[in-house]
Amino acid sequence: MQLEFSFIIPVFNRPNEIDELLHSFRNLNLHKNFEIVIVEDGSTKTSEDVIKRYQEQLHISYFTKANSGPGDSRNFGMQHAKGNYFIILDSDCILPPDYLHIVTSFLKNNFIDCFGGPDAAHENFSDLQKAINFTMTAFITTGGIRGNKKQINKFQPRSFNMGLSKDAFIKTGGFGNIHPGEDPDLSIRLWKLGYQTALISEAFVYHKRRISWTKFYKQVSKFGLVRPILNRWHPETKKITYWFPSLFILGLLVAFVLAVFSYFQLLALYGIYFLVVFLIALRSTRSLKIAIQSIFATMIQFTGYGFNFLKSITILRISNKKPEEIFPQLFFKSK
């Protein structure tokens, strides 16, 4: 099959991010005919002027629509795209020069209808962005769910860096209206239809993560709320590992209580864990400041996800309401 790529990029009030992303498109080593589909999702601060500066250098299709969330905007973009293979990116990503070459080589040698790639921190990112990136991608903090699983049909691509064939999009209808969680939901529905997913480990993007400590806590809290909903929709995908952050935080609380009564053994184990996180982060980032921040980021990640996972699973079990009624903030309405 002749691969014809359409890059699908929803954006909401982020023209500066689109400028950086389009600039990285110009620097791709593999100069092919590809389309860039940008979907303005109800922005009040549009990217129109930025896009005009690149239209003579890149093939850009630009659409505006009412705000309906990233999943629906990606679907809108794929519905209007001309290619037969879609690559979905977040607007806060930057492409390395070899990105398209790596993707094309992989798909030509081992075609698959859905792939994902990992994310990385660019050297120009802030220390906070690098610390959060470490926490979100390191095996010791996430188990490698965002970019270290090489098994076919086991990896759940994330929509900041995800490929989807046109055929798979048509058969699934694309993303649902939950957010976050729309990408694992799509992966699971693909598996049920017999499609495969895979990780292209070398096809990473620089994921800027427009983030602060507060925003990071809100983000991981939503991840915790969403997972029990996905487990309800797709019970065959339940895993004991989804409980680990909750058990980690509950165990830490128990450790502090025991320490009051002079039992420090459990607290010492937690101290060893955080020391290992610090050392791995220090080795990875070569920055003492980032390594220290990585400890705080790990605590925020486990706390936000862990407590909200327990909150979600408890409410879902005792309530007769649908998830959309219980957690309306996690769902967009299609326009």
Please tell me whether residues 43 and 80 are part of one structural domain: yes
| Cβ–Cβ < 8 Å for 36, 59 | yes
Residue 127 counted as domain residue: no
105 with 239, same domain: the answer is no
Residue 208 has a pLDDT of: 84
Do both 203 and 308 map to the same domain?
no
Residue 146 lies in a domain: no
Percent of the chain with pLDDT over 90: 84
User: Are residue 204 and residue 304 in the same domain, yes or no?
Assistant: no
Is 323 a member of any domain? yes
Evaluate whether residue 144 is within a structural domain: no
Closest CA to 172 of 70, 81, 74: 74
| 52 and 15 housed in the same domain | yes
The Cα 321–Cα 317 span in angstroms is: 10
- Whether residues 162 and 241 fall in one domain: no
Same domain flag for 231 and 207: no
Identity of the amino acid at 75: N
**Is 65 a domain residue?**
yes
Q: Residues 300, 207: one domain? A: no
- Residue 266 in this model has a pLDDT that exceeds 80: yes
Stretch among 202-211, 248-257, 273-282 having the lowest mean pLDDT: 202-211
Contact 77, 8 (CB under 8 A): yes
Indicate if 165 and 314 belong to the same structural domain. no
pTM (2 decimals)?
0.90
In a domain, 128, yes or no: no
- Confirm whether 164 is domain-assigned: yes
Look at residues 309, 297, 318, 303 and name the one whose alpha carbon lies nearest to residue 241.
Answer: 309
Question: Looking at the structure, do residues 68 and 200 belong to the same domain, yes or no?
Answer: yes
What are all long-range contacts of 137-142, with beta carbons under 8 Å and residues at least 24 apart? Answer: 138/277, 138/280, 138/281, 138/284, 140/276, 140/277, 140/280, 141/277, 141/298, 141/301
Q: How many residues can be counted in the chain? A: 335
DSSP conformational letter for 231: H
pLDDT exceeds cutoff 50 at 147:
no
Weakest mean pLDDT among 72-81, 140-149, 170-179, 195-204: 140-149
The pLDDT mean for the chain works out to 92
- What's the domain count of the chain? 2
Contact partners, residue 14, CB within 8 Å, separation at least 6: 43, 45, 47, 91, 92, 210
Does any domain span residue 129?
Answer: no
Domain of residue 163 covers 5-117+157-211
* Residue 185's CATH number: 3.90.550.10
* Same domain membership, residue 231 and residue 204: no
Query: Is there a single domain that holds both residue 197 and residue 297?
Result: no
Q: Note the pLDDT tens digit of each residue in 89-105.
A: 999 999 999 999 999 99
